[in-house]
Amino acid sequence: MMSSPDLHRSLKRTMPQFSRSPGLMLFPKDGGFVLYDPKEDNIQRNVGDFPECRFLANSGNWLLVLDSGSSLYIIDVFSKETIPLPSLESIESADCVVKRVGDREFIREESGAIYKDLSADVVRGLLWVSESGKEYVVVWLFDLPGHSYMSFCKNGDTHYTDIPLVFDDYAFHKFDGLSLK
């Protein structure tokens, strides 16, 4: 009969080992991020230097980053591999245009309406990156009441595509208060 430690070692050798994410990414109020590795019960503080950047989302060890010049990119926190993304104003849409009016300020013209006071400070995003790091999808929006579009791109795209949040052209059918999770 095998003792418990022998059984544990035997199971460990015969059970498939799964790759895992880098643990838990924590975002302190003073900026940057730290990694918590539950296996080692350790917090790694000096992961990299990302001054004046906002971290919008992560997928495994990849981060969706918005820098101080309002540029979006994806970065692998361990290898530092960086994937630049299209500019926020590169939306391909029949009835909308986003224009930069400063480093962090934008306006959006759509169907005759002009949305002002759009700031990089209210951009929210989602990220999915494949295990190989070769495929990704990014979704973002200006998170303001009454805003009626999300935008997305995937690997190989040179622009964002809008996802309208209005049905039948009736404003009361808007999905107001959507949250990216």
Residue 48 confidence (pLDDT): 62
Nearest Cα to Cα of residue 55 among 69, 38, 74: 74
Residue 55 confidence (pLDDT): 84
pLDDT digits (tens, 9 = 90+) for 5-30: 554 454 444 444 444 555 666 767 76
Distance of CA 74 to the CA centre of its chain: 8
Nearest Cα to Cα of residue 118 among 126, 130, 109: 109
Residue 156 confidence (pLDDT): 93
Question: Taking the domains of the chain in order of start, what are their residue ranges?
Answer: 53-173
Is the predicted pLDDT of residue 37 greater than 80, yes or no? no
Phi then psi for residue 79, to 5 deg, are: -90, -15
Q: What is the mean pLDDT of residues 35-47?
A: 71
